[in-house]
Amino acid sequence: MILGIMGGMGPAATCDIYNKIIQLTPATCDQEHLHIIIDGNSKIPDRTKFICGDGEDPRIEMIRSAIKLEMMGADYIIIPCNTAHYFYDDIIKYTKATVLHMIRETAAYLKMSKPGEENYLLLATAGTYKGGIDRKSVV
């Protein structure tokens, strides 16, 4: 299994998710870690600016990254940028790799681990809020 990370949308977010994967993998040697490919595409336009009506469409570069990751062998793709999930449905049309939806996965985890809870705090960009990504992703 090869994991692809669609990065560059907040380079620190890319670094952070990669570090978390390394830290949380119960490996005792290098060879037990996941095979991970990172496309740190710094050419992806600002997602929040586009969603708020004042920026270039980021989908072409995001789709390009997904295709690159798949061509390099990624079976799964993750996107560490919350706001980028606004474009999730457009991206998955262009790849056979499974693209994980971070917000839906989080909602499913919360539903499973905190049954009965209904209110959560979401810290988000204006694009995430305006795009309604959190509301569209409720399980």
The per-residue pLDDT of the chain, averaged, comes to 90
CATH 3.30.360.10 fits 2-136, yes or no: no
pLDDT digits over 117-133, tens only? 877 777 777 777 777 76
pLDDT digits over 15-55, tens only? 999 999 999 999 999 999 999 999 999 999 999 999 999 99
Q: Find the mean pLDDT for residues 104-112.
A: 86
Residue 70's closest CA among 91, 86, 47?
91
Which amino acid, 76? Y
pLDDT in the model for residue 139: 47
Residues β-bridged to residue 5:
38, 78
Burial of 107 (0-12, 13-18, 19+ CB in 10 A): middle
CB 59 within 8 A of CB 90: yes
Q: Find the mean pLDDT for residues 92-120.
A: 89
Query: How is residue 87 written in tokens?
Result: 């474009």
Q: Which residues of 53-74 are buried (b: 16+ CB within 10 A; e: fewer)?
A: eeeeebbebbbbbbebbbeeeb
Which pTM does this prediction carry?
Answer: 0.87
Tell me the pLDDT band of 136, cut-offs 50, 70 and 90.
Answer: low
Query: How is residue 122 written in tokens?
Result: 């979401």
- Break the chain into its structural domains and give their ranges: 2-136
Q: Find the mean pLDDT for residues 106-123.
A: 83
